[in-house]
Structure 1
Amino acid sequence: MSSFGKRSSSWIDLTGSDDENSAPQPKQARVSASQSASASQPRPSQSLNARDTWGEADEEDEILDLSQDADEGNGWVCVGAIDGKIVGIRYYDGYATMGEQVMVKREPRNPYDSNAIRINNVQGTQIGHLPRNLAAKLAPYMDSRTIVIEGVLAGEKGGWDCPINLKIYGPGERIARNQLEARMKQDRVPIRKLGIAAPKQPKQAVPPPQRRQMGYHSSQSSSQSASSQPEPLPGLGIEHFVANSERFNPRDVEKMVEQWGAGEDALKAMPFAEQPEGLVSTLLPYQRQGLAWLLEKEHPVLPAPGSIDVVQLWKRSQRHAGFTNLATQYTTAAPPVLAKGGILADDMGLGKTLQVISLILEGGPGTTLIVAPVSVMSNWVQQIERHVKKERNMKVLTYHGSNRKRMTHREFGEYDVVVTSYGTLGTEYSSNGKTAEKIPRKDGLFCINWARVVLDEGHNIRNPSTKSAVAATSLLATARWVLTGTPIVNTIKDLYSMLKFLAITGGLERMEIFNAILTRRLAVGDPGAEAILQSVMRTWTLRRKKDMKFVDLKLPELSEYVHRITFRNDEREKYEALQAEAKGMVKQFQAGKSKNGLDMYRHVLEVLLRMRQVCCHWKLCGTRVTDLLPLIGSGEVVALTKENRAALQLLLQLDIDSREDCPICLEELHNPVITACKHIFGRECIEKTIQLQNKCPMCRAELADTDCLVHPAVEEKAEEDPDLDVETKSSKTEALMSILTASRRDPKSKVVIFSQWTSFLNIIQHQLTEAGMKYCRIDGSVSAQARDASITALESDPDTRILLASLSVCSVGLNLVSADTVILADSWWAPAIEDQAVDRVHRLGQTRPCTVWRLIMEDSIEERVLTIQAEKRKLVGKAFQEKEKSGKEKTTRMGDILKLLS
């Protein structure tokens, strides 16, 4: 029998059984051979079907897989293997070859065997299922999420069954692992020991590239003690602040992309494209190389017959007349569909926008869809107007806003470029958590096959479960592009989401296979996984950095300083009271005296937040969360009255400000919401959970529907606070105003002030008004039109020399080269966010030397945040380090808290 699987032209009766251990299948699960055959082929990017948001396919016999989360088991260890077999294969048409990675799926709704475990190939087509007796032993472990199972075909398919090797992964923590092994032995699970392959530190598996020395570098007068610096006085020049601050060089982040992407010599030798005729601006040499790479990736070609070349991990099969994927060993007789597009991951400020505009000019006819954050949508329109020749007559449409007209594919086709937002894309994909309609549709963004889709700031889709990621992946497109300066933000799963969007084929586009091939094997330093990752990065990613010699941006000097400020006595008193409260709570936590662990944890987080806010201004503390907890009671679920909603919103904001993760997907909170039982999740994650089980995954409280979810309070436009007056200045605002006064001695100097709290921007705004300094402002409450007006004012109005900017809104996408000075008024947990903010100013097009001021209160939590940032920057290959789904997460977080309070 062919290893590709048996074919039949008739309907297949699945009610019988070929093995006494086989799991009988329901009659309504019947599929035609032609349907199954087509389903097993790689999916063309230009004909994507709408898929269930969380499922693998839109099959009629959809499996509700409650047992094995696609992301489960990251960082776990292999506890053994089972030499088994797949039965029932004569009833299924899934392709299968020896050595091929396969997917092990629980099928709890199978009416003939509630323990059923089916085996799918990497394309999601069923090959068969595990024998009844083995499935009965493994199903309870899968259902309780105690283990994760990987499968590889261990031999050729026979007429009745096929050998399979199952690797069993369990928790890495020793006690939990020992308990698992003892239980499996008691249950007589036929597992053989392989030895524990413990995750290695990334620096053992990934040799670090050459890097610059990290640390604080004293300025010419840094010998003066920061603690003895004089109180800033009006009229001091900027040289005073330079002399009394520490030189700071923060850019020491080791990124996976640099390690595994093409080396600088290879990048320098890349071919050049011709200068586009329709472009006003002259492309720099490395940008012409980028354009050549973009054009090549939109026209990939499979290896020719007899060739040993590898294209997108596909090579000509040596054993069969077809193609084999090197990552998964999946073999197909039909030519696989190659992905058109890739990830342009150039360093921030190297002109990714201009390179894509050049691609649109040179890449042939058709309409390009650009999806961007709201804050940068207008930048695309402006850049196209600025760089494209008028006679080219490029037609651009901004498709955004509640009053937009739902357009047909013919109407969209009249434009060269359509610019929309991630929010608009998600809204048109689905609303109110309902399953999306089939695609293509009669109108809207999902009615047309776009010539190309470009995701600006593409790391916005790094969580594959969010509505934005699912919607972007579901777009119909011939070519797909991701633009991002930070392709790996937290973990390797960020890369997975982008590969899925690109519509790659062969298996890595499925989370189970991605984890089996890359995530878990990279954690133990598997050389084969490292080689695959290197091939993936070099195939689909182009990354150039500012400091590469051949790039030669000739950017002006960037000087970064930490300016330490001394507390006033009254400020120190407030700060130390909060610090003592936090230390007392931590002692109770460590002694096990806290009755409610979650409330205790929230109390500590809240005090830490208030300590950071007191460093800026005492007024930021506002209503204490600890004062509100009695209002919403100690019960599991609270009534959603107006008062309780307001209290829950404050609890939610606390987690948002504290940069907490979604406990379901372990990613940064995405569209955060809080339940009536006071637990906080990403909206898409908890909505799916409610749909599946109507229970909170944290406390098992009943959650009837999504009406029990409370969303964040709407950010309101800044208004003048009557309680603010000249007497409410803090030490930090006085230092900030002194730096502003000194910088204004240079009539051409302009300043961007970043803060993570809009309430602090309100205080600074009041003091700017008092001082008669003209400013503009961008935050989350500002409309797109008002944002454009603020940027225009900063660029063209000589009297508008200050921009107040929300760090979360303005750290990406904006071009702020009209300024030359950045003031980071408070410290952000993630150093990459601050780096991105600085790169809004120090980027291509900047002509003046740039200065960055980090304002830090001396001997405070802000200094320790800076230390933690430095530790994070020094981590080698941080993207390899996956979080564990275990109670250790909070323990690790508490360790960081102890550092902050030390």
Structure 2
Amino acid sequence: MDEEPQLFDNVAVVNRECSTILSQIATFCTFEASCLTEPWIPISKGTTTINKDTCILVDIIIYGHPKHCDEVGDILGIKKIYLQEPDYRETRYGYKNPHFLDLNSNCPGADMDRHPLRFSLLQAEFQSQQLEFSNGKVLTQSLLKQKLAVVFKTMTRSQNLKRVIADTNRVHTSLKRYQEEALDFILQREFGPISPEYCLWKQKDQHLYIHSITGFEKNETPKETGGGILADEMGLGKTLTILSAIIRTANEAKSFALSTSNGTLFAAENTLIASRATLVVVPSPLLLNEWLQEIKLHCTGFSKPIIYHSHGREGNPEVLADADIVLSTYHTIAAESTDITSPLWKVNWFRIVLDEAHIIRRMTTRLFKSIKRLRANFRWCLTGTPIQNSLEDLAALINFIQSSPLDDFHVFKKHIISPLLKGSGEGVDNLRQLLDSVCLRRTKELLNLPKVIFESRLLNFSPREKRQYVDTRDKLVRMINQNRLQPQNKGCLGVFQLQLQLRRLCNHGTFQKLSVGVEDFDPEQAIAHLRKLKHAKCEVCKSHVTGIHGIEEQRSGSFTSCGHLLCSKCIQKTKGALQKIDGRDGCLKCSLCPETIFGEYLVTEGASSKPSGSGNKNLSAWQYFDKDGCSTKISAVVAEIEQHKAEGKSIVFSCWTRSLDLIGIFLSSRNIAFVRIDGSHTLVQRKWILEVFQKDSEIKILLMTTGTGAVGLNLTVANCVYILEPQWNPMVESQAIARVNRMGQTRNVRVVRYIMKGTVEELELQPQQTRKLEYAKVGWEEDDC
């Protein structure tokens, strides 16, 4: 007879974060834990032991009454813990998972192959706030969404604007009614008068003004004007509206430029060159061309716009100041942030316009600080998605347009964010007042655009693909288990390489070679995950690293090819300390570990974006794939392209050039003509390729990386969009789709998304997208979300 099993207290402990979460639901749930037996070492019959510092992955099954299901889902979801279908459960009980979204079935969990909760370590980093009522109860995202929905439904500014006719002598395109009303909003926010209903400062008596949101007081007349946020949905013609405003206010701009001083300026700013120019800042060089085309298409009488970008740009600030419009990029301005000779800082611009202004939503970055440093009489933000992640995104825009005193983040948090998160009516009213004052938002319903038809393809792996995916996944889990015992940064490289392998396997199937190289590594995601774990520190000086490269980040860093994270200051030191290995050319020994470096010392962002051609040139991509492979997803995409090629032009989006390579191989083998744009193409090449796609009736397919096609393009020549894989940031997809479904589109647009069943795409990326979109689109509803 076996011995009676001994019961031990404190055999193991759950980490503090998990125990804190579980304690919140312990009053109405019970738990069942299980783990693998390998870590336990037999000592004698009936007894086992385990090393003191061993970290074990434990699967915890939660049991409770169905009425608590959604509440448990909200509590766990806020903490970014998402339930997976368990490997084992008590079959006599029913099963319901509040975190599972099944697009093809009313039976959650039916016939799905899932990995247990241990996989939650791979969740993408999305900013999440601790949402609590003042009485300690959790404010769920769904409740917050309801609060914000109330805000946007009660805004009235757009209903109380009059039509302002554009200067028809210089603007030869008729404005829509809503664009003429936007002109009224712009003129009010720049020159007044603003209706008292939408003023944030209220006059209490002859010499005292009180801010209606913060309660701050001023003895002198406060400034209500200065710019604002034009947040019309993508495709409503914000560019034409701004160009019309620039022309409409040309005389006021000249008067500003002729003034020798301005009482509203700081003393130091009186030394700047007063300008009549509007500086327009865009995300990419491709958008510079888009603005030039819009000017050429709609306007006459402009002096030649100045492009302040790339080599040979204008260095004389007086020339810039005397232009009607100056076009530049965020990257250019950030790159010149430390250049004291740059003419950007010597001009007091009449107006600054930020196109796709959500680019500056992170106030701690060098990019935001560089843009904020620019001086201007008026400041405008153009964005169809002013709230992408959280209310802090809106705080950044309010900071830029200098809507005092809410341009101070601490004040914004106290009077806008905190009351909303506490669920109070005050928070709803404060946000409504603020937005009604400084922001104008209209939706695509004004355009009566054709329908967008969304279709999802939930695909099953072939047996070969499934075996390769499961083998790679198991290898990843073992590596994660090992790295939990080694909390230092070294070794993170391999984890992220393998995780990317899982995502790429979903696209490439068994075409994907199993060797893991540097080209499979995404440094940005690695940095984001290490920051989440509070491990994003330089291994040499222990300083915090906020991102890759030095343009948009406060403290940048890079990974070495052997897995170390180094800040930009320590990279050169460690590079200089590399030791040559005798008799082995091109091989160096790392100064921080015993590993040998082959080839490049640092991992770069562009590692996976090597140039590749289109058409027959794609055959060279076979070097990256197994010729005997198969891909369920690629085959499905190409089959659908063939089926619908007579219905119009199509765009295939992927975040990986390798996936576009594989699509290109398949299209070429079927003699289907296509063109392609990715990060390796120059601006001139991109312009030429787009012209070919738009004008050549034989070219029906455009392959494009999501980063290239996310913003700034008018792609209405197409009426079908294929999205090869879900993105960490779903707004990238939404923006790409909006370039097809916008003003000028005359046909229904079909959008097809591909998801591999039972994989990281369905179990992690898709739920993340759903949660993020549910938050981001509150009040900024888009048809394509």
2 CA distance for matches of 1:337 and 1:475? 19
Matching residue of 2:54: none
Which stretch has the larger CA shift, 485-494 or 780-789? 780-789
Counterpart of 2:411 in structure 1 is 513
Residue in 2 aligned with 1:581?
A: 475
Distance in structure 1 (CA, Å) of the matches to 2:461 and 2:177: 51
- Pairwise CA distance, 1:546: 1.6
Deviations 1:548-595 (CA, angstroms, capped at 9, x unpaired): xxx1x1211221111233323321211111222344456678xxx733
Q: Which amino acid aligns with 2:279?
A: L
Match of 1:735 among 624, 633, 636: 636
Among candidates 296, 314, 331, match of residue 201 of structure 2: 314
C-alpha RMSD of the superposition: 4.2
Name the counterpart of 1:340.
226
Q: 1:658 to 1:775 in 2, by over 3 A?
A: farther
Query: 1:541 and 2:432 equivalent?
Result: no
Cα gap change, 1:862/1:218 in structure 2, threshold over 3 Å: closer, same or farther? closer
Match 2:327 to one of 419, 428, 435: 419
Q: Which amino acid aligns with 1:387?
A: H
Question: CA distance change for structure 1 residues 788 and 428 in 2, over 3 Å: closer, same or farther?
Answer: same
Corresponding letter in the other structure for 1:861: V
Q: 2:179 corresponds to which residue?
A: 287
Q: Which residue of 2 aligns with 1:408?
A: 317
Distance (Å, rounded) in 2 between the aligned partners of 1:792 and 1:542: 34
The one-letter code sitting in structure 1 at the alignment partner of 2:417 is T
Deviations 1:27-63 (A, max 9, x none): xxxxxxxxxxxxxxxxxxxxxxxxxxxxxxxxxxxxx
Matched, 1:562 2:462: no
Q: What is the CA–CA distance in structure 1 between the aligned matches of 2:508 and 2:288, rounded to whole Å?
A: 34
Give the whole-Å Cα distance in 1 for the aligned partners of 2:523 and 2:749.
34
Q: What SS is found at the alignment partner of 1:282?
A: coil
CA contact under 8 A between 1:562 and 1:853: conserved in structure 2?
A: yes
What corresponds to 2:192 in structure 1? 300
One of 675, 696, 709 as aligned partner of 1:810: 709
> What amino acid is aligned across from residue 370 of structure 1 in structure 2?
V
Distance apart, 1:544 and its partner CA: 0.8
Corresponding residue number in structure 2 for 1:681? 546
Q: Relative to 1, partners in 2 of residues 1:500 and 1:726: Cα closer, same or farther, differing over 3 Å?
A: same
Shift of 1:820: 0.6
What amino acid is aligned across from residue 777 of structure 1 in structure 2?
Answer: R
Equivalent residue of 1:354, what SS? helix
Normalised to the residue count of structure 2, the TM-score between the two structures is 0.66
**1:354–1:383 CA contact under 8 A, matched in 2:** yes
Q: 1:361 aligns with which of 244, 247, 251?
A: 247
- CA distance in structure 2 between the partners assigned to 1:348 and 1:531 by the alignment: 27
**Secondary structure class of the residue paired with 1:346:** coil
Specify which of 752, 756, 764 is matched with residue 857 of structure 1: 756
CA distance in 2: counterparts of 1:623 and 1:217, whole angstroms: 31
CA distance in 2, matches of 1:515, 1:600: 38
User: Is 1:489 aligned to 2:388, yes or no?
Assistant: yes
Query: Counterparts of 1:577 and 1:174 in 2: how far apart (Å)?
Result: 31
Q: Give the partner amino acid of 2:501.
A: R
Query: Which residue of the partner structure matches residue 843 of structure 1?
Result: 742
Whether 1:267 and 2:147 are equivalent positions in the alignment is: no
Counterpart Cα distance in 1 of 2:424 and 2:572: 46
* C-alpha distance 359-701 of structure 1, shift in aligned 2 (>3 A): closer
Question: Which structure 1 segments of 5+ residues have no match?
Answer: 1-171, 176-199, 205-213, 220-224, 228-252, 304-308, 432-436, 629-646, 692-698, 881-902
Deviation at 1:516, TM superposition (A): 2.7
Distance 2:333 2:533 in 1: 22
Q: Which residue pairs with 2:353 in the alignment?
A: 454
Distance 1:275 1:254, change over 3 A: farther
The alignment partner of 1:782 has SS state of: coil
Name the CA shift for 1:781/1:467 in 2 (closer, same or farther; >3 Å).
Answer: farther
From 727, 730, 733, give the equivalent of 1:834: 733
Mapped to 1, the partners of 2:241 and 2:556 lie a distance apart of 44
Deviations 1:670-710 (CA, angstroms, capped at 9, x unpaired): xx99766898522569985699xxxxxxx999986574696
The change in CA–CA distance for 1:837 and 1:878 in structure 2 (over 3 A counts) is closer
CA distance in 2, matches of 1:458, 1:300: 23
TM-superposed CA distance for 1:604, in Å, is 5.0
Deviation, 1:866, is 5.9
Does the C-alpha gap of structure 1 residues 800 and 788 become closer, same or farther in structure 2, counting only changes over 3 Å? same
One-letter identity of the residue aligned with 1:573:
R
* Structure 2 CA distance for partners of 1:416 and 1:674, relative to 1, 3 Å: farther
Distance 1:687 1:264, change over 3 A: closer
3-state SS in 1 of match to 2:191: coil
Per mean C-alpha deviation after superposition, the further-off stretch among 417-426 and 681-690 is 681-690
User: 1:492: Cα distance to partner?
Assistant: 1.4
Q: Cα distance, 1:421 vs. partner?
A: 0.7
Residues in 1 aligned to 2:417 and 2:673: alpha-carbon distance in whole angstroms: 51
Q: Name the CA shift for 1:674/1:868 in 2 (closer, same or farther; >3 Å).
A: farther
Q: Would the aligned equivalents of 1:665 and 1:685 in 2 still touch at CA under 8 Å?
A: no
What is residue 298 of structure 2 aligned with on the other side? 387
Q: Cα offset for 1:825?
A: 0.7
Structure 1 residue 718: Cα displacement: 2.1
**Identity between Structure 1 and Structure 2 (%):** 25
2:372 to 473, 476, 479: 473
Q: Aligned pair in 2 of structure 1 residues 263, 286: CA closer, same or farther (>3 Å)?
A: farther
Residue 282 of structure 2 is matched in structure 1 by: 372
Structure 1 range deviating more: 487-496 or 770-779: 770-779
Q: What residue is the counterpart of 1:744 in the other structure? A: 645
- Count of matched residue pairs: 585
Tell me the TM-score normalized by structure 1.
0.58
Structure 1 equivalent of residue 68 of structure 2: none
Q: Which amino acid aligns with 1:358?
A: S
Structure-2 separation of matches of 1:621 and 1:226: 26
Contact 1:261 1:541 (8 Å CA) reproduced: no
**Residues 777 and 504 from structure 1, CA distance in 2 versus in 1: closer, same or farther, beyond 3 angstroms?**
same
Q: How big is each residue's C-alpha offset from its partner over 1:777-815, in whole Å with a ceiling of 9 and x where there is no partner?
A: 222222222222222122112122211111123112211
- For residues 279 and 844 of structure 1, the distance between their equivalents in structure 2, rounded to whole angstroms, comes to 18
Distance 1:456 1:703, change over 3 A: closer
Q: 2 CA distance for matches of 1:398 and 1:703?
A: 31
CA contact (8 A) 1:463 1:494 kept: yes
How far residue 218 of structure 1 moved from its aligned partner, in angstroms, is: 7.5
Deviation at 1:607, TM superposition (A): 3.3
Cα distance in structure 2, aligned partners of 1:612 and 1:774? 28
Structure 1 pair 580–722 and aligned structure 2 pair: CA distance change class (3 A)? closer
Structure 2 residue matching 1:734: 3-state secondary structure: helix
Alignment of structure 1 residues 712-727 onto 2, 5 Å: 712-714=604-606, 715-718=609-612, 720-721=620-621, 723=623, 727=628
Given that 1:398 and 1:419 are in contact with CA atoms closer than 8 Å, whether structure 2 keeps it comes out as yes
How far apart are the structure 2 equivalents of 1:265 and 1:782?
45
1:227-272 alpha-carbon deviations (Å, 9 max, x no partner)? 9xxxxxxxxxxxxxxxxxxxxxxxxx96987643464776345321
Residues 185-224 of structure 1: matches in 2 within 5 Å?
Answer: none
1:612 paired residue number: 503
Query: Does the residue aligned with 1:445 lie in a helix, a strand or coil?
Result: helix
**Amino acid in structure 1 at the alignment position of 2:287:** V
What amino acid is aligned across from residue 321 of structure 1 in structure 2?
Answer: H
SS at match of 1:481: strand
Q: Distance in 2 between matches of 1:744 and 1:382?
A: 29
- Cα pair distance change 1:810/1:620, threshold 3 Å: farther
Letter of the structure 2 residue corresponding to residue 562 of structure 1: S
The DSSP-based 3-state class of the residue aligned with 1:465 is: coil
The CA deviation string for residues 485-528 of structure 1, in whole angstroms up to 9 with x for no partner, is: 1101111111111111112222x222222223333333222433
Cα distance change, pair 716–538 in 1 and its aligned pair in 2 (3 A): same
Partner of 1:759: 658
